[in-house]
Amino acid sequence: MKIKVLGCYGGEVPGKYISGFLLGEDTLVDAGTIGLNLELKAQRKLRNILISHPHLDHICALPFLGGNVLSNKSESLKIVGAKFSLEAIKKYIMNGTVWPDFTKIKNQAGAPVFSYMPISYLKWVTIGKYKIKAIPVNHTVPTNGYLIGEGDSYMLYSGDTKTTEAIWQEGKKLGTKLKAIFVETSFPNERADLADKTGHLTPAVLEAQLKKIGDKAKPKIFIYHIKPEYQQQVEKELKKIKGFDLTLVKQGNTYTI
Ligand SMILES: [Zn+2]
Ligand SMILES: [Zn+2]
């Protein structure tokens, strides 16, 4: 599986963009960043977008994508997620007031530009060439991470979360097929209170989460969603975590698992 990092930060400053990950050529995981890091031709190849939750830093590139794929001669681009996330996007963002409702605008093949595909928690579904399972995590609004598989390789994507259980247990069940974990870490340890209130991880709490996977799988750990103002401090604290193969996600990089 190939994962290209379009954006990976928990806030925006010049050159640092918010969460968006491209799987292969046609699937996105979260949509904080699309057009800032993906050429028009590549945007037009997108077919499925998995959303973890409707916070703006995970969906805000969707409206502009809609306006860039009007000439697609293809079926609708599917926005995939829990009902709560899709309803929020429909009601508050692409509602015909803040932005056009792209499920009512046709592309050049006559299909709606976007369609919404609600999925249930804890059930495997096939989306394009990927096997997907949405698993609820613990944030300030209903949020889910994903297990995503291609062939025999699986990755776990945490979404925004603080300490949580189900996704770690589901990841552990995959055993050695679990090759990578993309997990958020937003705040340094000294802001543990704020992290807990806002539903995010600190390096210390991350370490406790990673131990829940057990020692059989040994996946690579990729850290994203660091708040730019705390980046140095968080990175310093992450370096102290021992016993895991830990990488700070680099924007623009493509990782193969
Ligand atoms: Zn969030
Ligand atoms: Zn976020």
H/E element holding 207? helix 203-210
Distance between CA atoms of residues 108 and 40, nearest Å: 16
- Tokens for 132? 């997907």
What's the pLDDT tens digit per position in 90-105?
999 999 999 999 999 9
Spatial distance between the Cα atoms of 37 and 121, rounded to a whole number of angstroms: 30
Q: How far is the CA of 71 from the centre of ligand 2 (A)?
A: 31
The pLDDT value recorded for residue 71 is 96
Ligand nearest to the CA of 32: 2
Ligand 1 centroid from CA 110, angstroms: 34
Confidence label for 217 from pLDDT (cuts 50, 70 and 90):
confident
**Are the CB atoms for 10 and 186 separated by under 8 Å?**
yes
**By three-state DSSP, how is residue 193 classified?**
helix
Question: Residue 115: which domain range?
Answer: 2-256
How would you classify the pairing of strands 220-224 and 178-184? parallel
Looking at residue 122, its pLDDT comes to: 98
Kindly give the distance from the C-alpha atom of residue 195 to the centroid of ligand 1, in angstroms, as a whole number. 11
Separation of CA 18 and ligand 2 centre (Å)? 8
CATH of the domain at 201: 3.60.15.10
3-state secondary structure of 142: coil
Separation of 55 CA from ligand 1 center, angstroms?
Answer: 5
- Ligand 1 centre and the CA of 139: distance in Å? 7
Task: Please give the Cα distance from 201 to 76 (Å, whole number).
Answer: 35
For residue 19, the ligand closest to its alpha carbon is: 2
In angstroms, what CA-CA distances link 87 with 53, 91, 254?
Answer: 11, 6, 32
| Structural domain total, the chain | 1
Ligand closest to Cα of 60 equals: 2
44 Cα–ligand 1 center, Å: 27
Distance, CA of 203 to CA of 234 (rounded, Å): 7
Length of the chain, in residues: 257
Quickly state the pLDDT bin for 126 (edges 50, 70, 90).
very high
Using a cut of 0.85, tell me whether the model's pTM lies above it: yes
Q: Are 206 and 185 in contact (CB under 8 A)?
A: yes
CB atoms within 10 A of CB 18: 25
pLDDT averaged over every residue in the chain = 97
Give the whole-number percent of the chain exceeding pLDDT 90.
98
Residue 243 falls in which region: left (phi positive, over 0), alpha (psi -120 to 50) or beta? left
Ligand having the closest approach to the CA of 53: 1
| pLDDT confidence band for 216 (50 / 70 / 90) | confident
- pLDDT mean over 206-216: 94
Query: Phi then psi for 252, rounded to 5 degrees?
Result: 95, -20
Neighbours of 41 (CB within 10 A): 7
- Does residue 215 carry a pLDDT above 90? no
Measured in Å, residue 36 CA sits from the centre of ligand 2 at 17
Q: How many angstroms separate the alpha carbon of residue 80 from the centre of ligand 2?
A: 17
